[in-house]
A and B are shown apart, each in its own frame.
Chain A
Amino acid sequence: QSALSQPASVSGSPEQSITISCTGTSGDFGGSNFVSWYQQHPGIAPKLIIYDVSNRPSGVSDRFSGSKSGNTASLTISGLQAEDEADYYCTSYTTSSTLVFGGGTKVTVL
């Protein structure tokens, strides 16, 4: 199973909005909405920030939003802040009942 495709890096200035894409095959996304996004700061375990395409767990800032169209999912961070500088990973639950990760995107706040 190949990884989902994400840009290696995305950058933006404070208060700007950025979008990270996550592209796979129809088998990767399985026609379902089981796409999640994770934020990982250096040396710390990942944190779930979006589940089932567009839902935020309790306590996650509403500056994070998710969407999906066809075989591409997207994570948008609005009002970019210094604390958002981290690595971001998408996952999808596949038709084979496996999970597949994206390669990860490093977000830099300029």
Chain B
Amino acid sequence: QVQLMQSGAEVKKPGASVKVSCKASGDTFSIYYVHWVRQAPGEGLEWMGKINPTGSRTTYAQKFQGRVTMTRDTSTSTVYMELSSLRYDDTALYYCTGGRLKQWLADWGQGTLVTVSS
């Protein structure tokens, strides 16, 4: 099992960017797919994209194409999600999650609250 620890809450202005980190512990992280999922207040879960174990391939939801970038630092077992051109409706709890197979969301971080406010 992998433990995922995310960075702290952020408050950003509209139009700004935010970068959230997700640091993993556990020896299987090198073969681990990482996904990002967000949840707006009172709403359901929304998939944003994923990055493969080596960091060489990303797949993004069409909705976020052009605004989201996921990267991976294998030396520190950390994955990053950067979302640009923030809007008020990007206010949400952002989770990193993943597993050994690309379709699994077996382990979850604690979530990072991103608030977009002027």
* Chain A residues proximal to chain B, CB less than 8 Å: 1, 3, 34, 36, 38, 40, 45-48, 51-52, 57, 87, 89, 91, 93, 96-104
Q: From residue B111, how far is it (CB to closest CB) to chain A in Å? A: 6
Total number of residue pairs linking A and B with CB closer than 8 Å: 63
The 3 closest A-B pairs by CB, nearest first: A34-B103, A45-B108, A93-B103
Quick one: given A3-B44, A101-B44, A101-B45, are A48 and B106 in contact (CB under 8 Å)? yes
CB pair A98 B47 closer than 8 Å: yes
Question: Given the complex of chains A and B, what is the CA–CA distance between A45 and B61 in angstroms?
Answer: 21
Given A97-B59, A98-B59, A38 contacting B103 (CB threshold 8 A): no
Query: Does B106 contact A57, Cβ atoms closer than 8 Å?
Result: yes
Contact of A48 among B105, B109, B111 (CB under 8 A): B105
Q: Are A48 and B104 in contact, with the CB atoms below 8 A?
A: yes
- B24-37 vs A, Cβ < 8 Å mask (1 yes, 0 no): 00000000000101
